[in-house]
Copies of this chain bind each other. A is one copy, B any other.
Amino acid sequence: MKKTLVKRDEEGSRLVLSEAQEDYLKQIFILGEGRQKVGTQALAHRLEVRPASVTEMVGRLAQLGLVVHARYRGVSLTESGRRVALEMLRHHRLLETFLVEMLGYGWDQVHEEAERLEHVISERFEARIAEAMGHPTRDPHGDPIPTADLSMPPEATPMSLAELPAGESGTLARVGAQDRENLDLLGRLGLAPGSSIEVIAAEGTALRVRAGGESFLLPGFLAERLWMEDE
């Protein structure tokens, strides 16, 4: 009844990480955009644990050679750590795509499911769904899917809806929010990747926009997480 999925790193040595450890590495990657140092507090916030727990776990990951930790200065990933993070990100995004394309989920219903599945699928599962979907390069939120050899497809630096000048419009390319609350709001407003949105004007901290023939107010922090491309 042992069930832990054993992964191998590039040198072929056995790497057995807990799901918690995989989550830490993934969040360090996301917060540090792959390369930068990440603070204990930011990480604690993302992982919904206390800073003290982060310090402890980061120490363990450092011993495993997955992160570099300069006390009081932040953590960053080593090459092996980066690979684990990218593997998780690839699993997550492939799974989201799979849930939408093959199992008929809504694009805003896939995050939590992928979050649990990403830690337990095998290389075979990963390869089969990737193949079945024709090796997709974007997930349903518009995020790029790392390739099988774990490189991240390069992207044009994107512009958020919040930065778009009043009067201009664009197409929603990526939704950088996965929490229930914001996804539900987008759903109610009829916004999804591919939607065309026009900025009318800033109203205080919020933004008045038009989409799908209707105009409405969008909270500023959400507008900052909607990445646009030209039409």
Type the 1/0 row for A16-48, where 1 means its CB is closer than 8 Å to any CB of B. Answer: 000100010001000000000000000000111
With A and B bound together, what is the CA distance between A139 and B27 in angstroms?
38
Cβ of A113 within 8 Å of any chain B Cβ, yes or no, is yes
Contact B104 A128 (CB under 8 A): yes
With A and B bound together, what is the CA distance between A23 and B3 in angstroms?
10
The residue on B at minimum CB distance from A47 is B1
B-chain residues with CB within 8 Å of residue A3 when the two chains form the complex: 19, 23, 112, 115-116
Cβ of A132 within 8 Å of any chain B Cβ, yes or no, is yes
Residues of chain A touching chain B, judged by Cβ–Cβ distance below 8 Å, are 1-3, 5, 19, 23, 27, 46-49, 99, 102-105, 109, 112-113, 115-117, 120-122, 124-125, 128-129, 132
Contact A128 B105 (CB under 8 A): yes
- Distance between A85 CB and nearest chain B CB, rounded to angstroms: 14
With A and B bound together, what is the CA distance between A116 and B122 in angstroms?
10
The residue on B at minimum CB distance from A115 is B3
With A and B bound together, what is the CA distance between A99 and B127 in angstroms?
12
